[in-house]
Amino acid sequence: MTEASPATEEPREVGVGPHPEPWPEDSRLDPELLENGDRRNVEDRFRYWRRDAIIAELDTHRHDLHVAIENLEHDANIGSVVRTANAFAVGAFHIVGRRRWNRRGAMVTDRYQHEIHHADADGLIAWARAEGRPLVAIDLVPGALPLERTRLPRNAVLVVGQEGPGVSPEILAAADLVVGITQFGSTRSINVAAAAAIAMHVWILQHADIPEGPLR
């Protein structure tokens, strides 16, 4: 038996079409979505829900973890970091530097997250100190502790820098922890979006309630 070639496979349809009438009586549901269908990038349990209702539901179980991304060069990786932050129900993400950032990679997941902006590194540092949140810089620099063997604070702010330059000297100097991802190959570094995802997942393994059974 041979597999169908990609050219003959029908594209997978995302989402659902219009909801059959009579519509369910639920204040969380959006009449426009019920009428026209819901093709958004959301889990099936949120089909037809209003955006504010989804945010409110996520707020009931977000993790006590924040992620900060330095936006000094309009890095295209920021969207991917935000998408991962949404997948792990991170409490909020911070943009440090330019307020405008490349949202394409976020796949509109940023609409369901809490975003906090800081004009510069000093702004993030001051905010973290006022909130009692430890700053954890993710960068493979001299003195960095291996992420895989480091206990991350439950209320940490994980900070990633730009692709190339890494975390800024100001944040590295102020960080409560500086950790790096152990590497075994020839490359100098891991893509910043991948590094952020690994760091968030390490936090999840240490602090989140992981299901025992199948995920689907």
pLDDT one-digit tens code per residue, 109-135? 999 999 999 999 999 999 999 999 999
Mean pLDDT of 138-154: 97
Domain ranges of the chain: 19-59, 61-207
Judge if pTM exceeds 0.85: yes
What is the C-alpha separation between 121 and 96, in angstroms, rounded?
A: 6
Query: What pLDDT, on the 0 to 100 scale, is given for residue 9?
Result: 60
Q: What are the φ/ψ torsions at residue 130 (nearest 5 degrees)?
A: -65, -35
Mean pLDDT value of segment 79-107: 96
> Hey, how many other C-beta atoms are within 10 angstroms of the C-beta on 94?
22
Average pLDDT along the chain = 93
Give the position of tokens 């997942």: 201
| Token pair listed for 81 | 């970091």
Distances (CA, A) of 112 to 52, 60, 136: 8, 13, 24
Share of the chain above pLDDT 90, in %: 86
pLDDT bucket at 216, cuts 50 / 70 / 90: confident
Q: How far apart are CA 21 and CA 4, in angstroms?
A: 37
Give the pLDDT of residue 1.
47
Q: Locate tokens 């970091």: which residue? A: 81
**What CATH number belongs to 61-207?**
3.40.1280.10
Please check the confidence at residue 213 and state whether its pLDDT lies above 60: yes
Per-residue pLDDT tens over the stretch 6-63: 555 666 678 999 999 999 999 999 999 999 999 999 999 999 999 999 999 999 999 9
d(CA 185, CA 142): 18
- Work out the average pLDDT over 147-164: 95
Burial of 124 (0-12, 13-18, 19+ CB in 10 A): buried
Read off the tokens for 40: 């958004």
What value does the mean pLDDT take over residues 94-107?
A: 94
